[in-house]
Amino acid sequence: MNIEQLHKQYKTSLKKENRLIRLYQILIFLVFFSSWELFSRMEWIDPLIFSSPSKVWQLFLQKLADGTLLSHSGVTLFETVLGFIIGTLLGTILASLLWWSPRLSKTLDPYLVILNAMPKVALGPIIIVAFGPGFPSIISMGAIISIIITTIVVYTAFREVDPNYLKVLQTFGATRTQAFREAILPASFPTIISTLKVNVGLSWVGVIVGEFLVSAKGLGYLIIYGFQVFNFTLVMLALMIIAVFATIMYQLVELLERKLIKD
Amino acid sequence: MSFLTIQDIHHTYFSNQTAATALADISLDIEKGEFVSFLGPSGCGKTTLLSIIAGLFPPTSGKILLENKPLDADSDTSIGYMLQQDYLFPWKTIEENILLGLKLIKKDEGLERIKTLKLLSDVGLGGTGKLYPRELSGGMRQRAALARTLAVDPKILLLDEPFSALDYQTKLKLEDLVFETLKSFGKTAVLVTHDIGEAIAMSDRIYLFSPNPGRVHKTFEVPDELRGLMPFHARNHPQYPILFQTIWKELESLEY
């Protein structure tokens, strides 16, 4: 029995397993794109509708070169990030207010249920009329879609904080503000972070739908435009870029999670 | 007048269906530097009384005077409260946890800070200030909680079964530590427990509570021979089993 040897064996088997999984992941990627390309070339799927990776790639290079891609993605990214931040922030602030006043939370409870059940994108036309066709409406769409769910989830987290922590603070004579800052907020950080993860996806939905409805710029606009002129290569390109950006945002939130939560 | 006066406390918990009286006719006096225990079966309202003394909620009727002043007059730091579990904040280091009470009254700088950090070594936790609670054992965490409670220099300490979640060996050691620390600081303390042995080993006086509604059933003075001894030694004194038997019989009689 040699502990060191066994440990080494364990580590190599672990590494092997990880390598295998990575291999399968790459395999799926390659199979997907090569069969897409192949099926499209053999016309087993309609190349006009489904395009092909090579065409998307060519269009990508072309749009990158003339600068239009950068400006469209820039606009959408800006709207999404802003909508995401505003939605999360307002939702958390609203949750804090509800925690602050139990009477307010009881009063507002049925309205929150209704607002949560309602599909927020249905408010699109009203928002556009109210804020005008442009940035403000689209950012509002990105924000409004995540506010209510953030409020509900974060408020629930606030209420589930072990009351004994509050008891400790209360015996020290803490005010409600101090109790919030010292116990409620830090204890709810993990939940807030996980709502951030959900909100990344939601904000993209809100912003893209917003761009469908009004804008003359952005990735949502590219999708609608491509659809109208029957250029599905353009639609696919926009989808790919959205996928990449959404993934990057999600990874950034995970990075933030590792920074903030030390456990 | 006594240090802590508890006068005609009644407390009833109201809910939609019921009004349950938890405490009735509680009057007692505690002198400065005394260590008293509230002993009794569960449901006798001893924790309720402790919470009322701590000012967590007002009693339905009656009053509590600390040095002849009603409690809420200077609620800031006159009371220290220790719970069954340590409830150290997991996102704060031990040092930050211990300074918490002072931070709330904005005195966590300078001399107060140094004094508080010295408390850490007083309870045998020197060098752990930068660690997080999860890195300490249960006994060490409860000692840190003691230091946190003492940091604000409370006039009276309320201990709500602080040893009940610990293993037996740790519990015995911690009893000695708490006893010694409180005596050396000359603190007044009230311990809530359902452990007869712990009550005898630690206190000067024991109030036995009876349930439904909670009342003081009987008061036992712990003999002088036991009072001066550390809890661990008190448990080995010939007087200890005698008092234990007396209280045991009294508790048994409550059940019928």
Is the pLDDT reported for residue B60 higher than 70? yes
Interface touch A168/B132, C-beta < 8 Å? no
Q: For residue B85, what pLDDT band results from cuts at 50, 70 and 90? A: confident
Beta carbon pairs, A and B, within 8 Å? 50
Interface touch A263/B77, C-beta < 8 Å? no
Note whether A105 and A35 are same-domain residues. Answer: no
In angstroms, the CA A30 to CA A9 distance is 31
Is the pLDDT reported for residue B256 higher than 70? no
Is the pLDDT reported for residue B75 higher than 70? no
Q: Answer yes or no: is B124 within a domain.
A: yes
- B126 is in which domain, residue-wise? 87-153
Q: Answer yes or no: is B52 within a domain.
A: no
Interface touch B56/A167, C-beta < 8 Å? yes
Is the pLDDT reported for residue A80 higher than 90? yes
Helix, strand, coil percentages for chain A (3-state, nearest 5): 85, 0, 15
Measured CA to CA in angstroms, residue B235 lies from A124, B170, B175 at distances of 75, 15, 11
Is the pLDDT reported for residue B73 higher than 80? no
The number of domains in chain B is 1
Could you tell me the two tokens for B214? 């909670």
Note whether A205 and A145 are within 8 A (CB). yes
Residue % of chain A over a pLDDT of 90: 59
B133: nearest CA partner in chain A: A263
Which residue of B80, B89, B101 is in closest CB contact with A183?
B89
The number of domains in chain A is 2
A261: nearest CA partner in chain B: B91
A257 touches chain B (CB under 8 A): no
B72 touches chain A (CB under 8 A): no
What is the rounded radius of gyration, in angstroms, for the C-alpha atoms of chain A?
24
In angstroms, the CA B82 to CA B31 distance is 20
Q: Answer yes or no: is A51 within a domain.
A: no
Q: Answer yes or no: is B80 within a domain.
A: no
Phi first, then psi, for residue B51 (nearest 5°) are -65, -35
In angstroms, the CA A64 to CA A254 distance is 29
Mutate to test the interface with B, among A164, A166, A167, A171 (most CBs of B within 10 A): A171
In angstroms, the CA B205 to CA B227 distance is 9
- Lowest-confidence pick of A4-13, A122-131, B75-84, B93-102: B75-84
Note whether A7 and A131 are same-domain residues. Answer: no
Note whether A30 and A79 are same-domain residues. Answer: no
Q: What is the mean pLDDT of residues A108-126?
A: 90
CB contacts of B116 in chain A (<8 Å) are none
Which residue of B75, B91, B132 is in closest CB contact with A186?
B91
Q: Are strands B4-14 and B61-66 parallel, antiparallel or unpaired?
A: antiparallel
Interface touch A164/B104, C-beta < 8 Å? no
A183: nearest CA partner in chain B: B89
Q: DSSP of A137-196, one letter per residue?
A: HHHHHHHHHHHHHHHHHHHHHHHTS-HHHHHHHHHTT--HHHHIIIIIHHHHHHHHHHHH
In angstroms, the CA B81 to CA B51 distance is 9
Name the 3-class secondary structure at B157: strand
Q: For residue B194, what pLDDT band results from cuts at 50, 70 and 90? A: confident
Alpha-helical runs (H) found in chain B: 46-54, 94-98, 100-104, 110-122, 138-151, 168-185, 196-202, 224-227, 231-234, 239-254
Interface touch B89/A165, C-beta < 8 Å? yes
pLDDT of residue A112: 92
Q: Are strands B188-193 and B156-160 parallel, antiparallel or unpaired?
A: parallel
Burial class (CB in 10 A: 0-12, 13-18, 19+), B65: middle
A190 touches chain B (CB under 8 A): no
Number of helices (H), then strands (E), belonging to chain A: the values are 12, 0
Interface touch B55/A174, C-beta < 8 Å? no
Name the 3-class secondary structure at B191: strand
CB contacts of B85 in chain A (<8 Å) are 164
A169 touches chain B (CB under 8 A): yes
Pseudo-torsion of CA B113, B118, B119, B121, nearest 10°? 140
Q: Answer yes or no: is A242 within a domain.
A: yes
Q: What is the CATH number of the domain that holds A112?
A: 1.10.3720.10
Note whether A104 and A207 are same-domain residues. Answer: yes
- DSSP state for residue B133 in the 8-state scheme: G
Q: What is the mean pLDDT of residues A47-62?
A: 90
The sheet carrying B61-66 orders its strands as: B19-30, B4-14, B61-66, B69-70
B83 touches chain A (CB under 8 A): yes
Phi first, then psi, for residue A173 (nearest 5°) are 75, 25
CB contacts of B77 in chain A (<8 Å) are 172-173
Dihedral sign, Cα of residue A152, residue A154, residue A158, residue A159: positive
Which residue of B90, B101, B158 is in closest CB contact with A172?
B101
Note whether B87 and A164 are within 8 A (CB). yes
H/E element, B29: strand B19-30
CB contacts of A179 in chain B (<8 Å) are none
B134: nearest CA partner in chain A: A263
A179: nearest CA partner in chain B: B104
Q: Which of A15, A181, A202, A21 is nearest to A96 (CA)?
A: A181
- DSSP state for residue B106 in the 8-state scheme: T
Q: Answer yes or no: is A50 within a domain.
A: no
Q: Answer yes or no: is B73 within a domain.
A: no
CB contacts of A186 in chain B (<8 Å) are 89, 91
Q: Kindly report, residue by residue over B2-59, the tens digit of the pLDDT.
A: 888 888 889 999 988 888 888 888 898 999 889 999 998 887 888 889 988 888 888 9
B105 touches chain A (CB under 8 A): yes
Note whether A68 and A39 are same-domain residues. Answer: no
The angle at the Cα of A71, spanning A67 to A72, to the nearest 5 degrees, equals: 115
- A228 is in which domain, residue-wise? 56-260
Task: Give the A window 53-92 contacts with B, CB below 8 Å.
Answer: none
In angstroms, the CA A156 to CA A145 distance is 19
Q: What is the mean pLDDT of residues B161-169?
A: 86
Q: Answer yes or no: is B113 within a domain.
A: yes
How far does Cα B197 stand from its chain's mean position? 16
Q: Answer yes or no: is B147 within a domain.
A: yes
Dihedral sign, Cα of residue B70, residue B76, residue B80, residue B81: positive
Is the pLDDT reported for residue B74 higher than 60? no
Note whether A60 and A138 are same-domain residues. Answer: yes
Interface touch A172/B100, C-beta < 8 Å? yes
In angstroms, the CA B180 to CA B131 distance is 25
Note whether A21 and A117 are same-domain residues. Answer: no
In angstroms, the CA B21 to CA A70 distance is 72
Could you tell me the two tokens for A191? 């939940």
Q: Answer yes or no: is B96 within a domain.
A: yes
CB contacts of B81 in chain A (<8 Å) are 167-168, 171
H/E element, A205: helix A185-213
Q: Kindly report, residue by residue over B104-147, the tens digit of the pLDDT.
A: 888 777 788 888 888 888 888 888 888 999 999 888 998 899 89
Which residue of A162, A178, A187 is in closest CB contact with B104?
A178
Q: Answer yes or no: is B125 within a domain.
A: yes
